Amino acid sequence: MAISERPSPAIAASGFDGHNDLMTIQNSLLRLGRMPGPRGGLATDLGNGQFFKWSSLATKLELDNNVFMAEQVGQSGADTMGVPASLVSCSNNVMVWLGAGPYPAPLPPCFTVTNDRAVWDDAVAAWKLQHGAAP
């Protein structure tokens, strides 16, 4: 899971409602890495969640200048691999898709989809250089 805005039942029952707030994600790298022991699987299986775990109580969303990468469809299925409906602004995002076939969910026009792993690797190298980390 990359970003979760699905409140627990107790938080939702308390009256929480974030839909008038805005979360902006910009200049970020978000990767769904295949991890051992996915929910409902064997310890030897590899799996991942989804980029956004959202609810109707979640904030509005803005995505700008981000690079996303997924190697396979998340455990909850192709329909969870998209962007939340609360997206209000979006520009210059890249989805690096390493799975089979086309990207499994619709993405807004502010996304470019590529199968080129080097796009991710270059973005990571640039981030490390900008933040003083060893390559």
CB-based contact 33:71 (threshold 8 Å):
yes
pLDDT (tens, 9 = 90+) of the chain, 135 residues, equals 899 998 888 988 998 889 899 999 999 999 998 877 777 777 777 778 899 999 989 999 999 999 999 999 988 889 999 999 999 999 999 999 999 999 999 999 999 999 999 999 999 999 999 998 876
Q: Are strands 3-5 and 52-54 parallel, antiparallel or unpaired?
A: parallel
Count of beta carbons in the 10 Å neighbourhood of residue 29: 14
Listed by start position, the domains of the chain span 3-130
pTM above 0.85, yes or no: yes
Instruction: State which H helix or E strand residue 128 sits in.
Output: helix 117-130
